[in-house]
Amino acid sequence: MDSNVLLDIIGAHAAVAGMTLLTRNVARLQTSFPTVQLIAP
């Protein structure tokens, strides 16, 4: 599975469930899922 597809699945799940994500790819997730709260190291 392509890593971008996996990131989309995880991001969509977090958006629907109202979860916070820990990520190093903040720019991509903020653009695709603006409602998801992100934690970046």
Q: Which residues contact 19 (CB under 8 A, 6 or more apart)?
A: 13, 36
What's the pTM value of the predicted model, to 2 decimals? 0.79
Q: What is the pLDDT of residue 5?
A: 92
Q: What is the pLDDT of residue 20?
A: 97
Sign of the alpha-carbon torsion through 24, 19, 13, 34: negative
Q: What is the pLDDT of residue 8?
A: 93
pLDDT tens figures, 1-41: 677 899 999 999 999 999 999 999 899 999 999 999 999 98
- Do the beta carbons of residue 11 and residue 33 sit within 8 Å? yes
For residue 34, report the phi and psi dihedrals to the nearest 5 degrees.
Answer: -65, -20
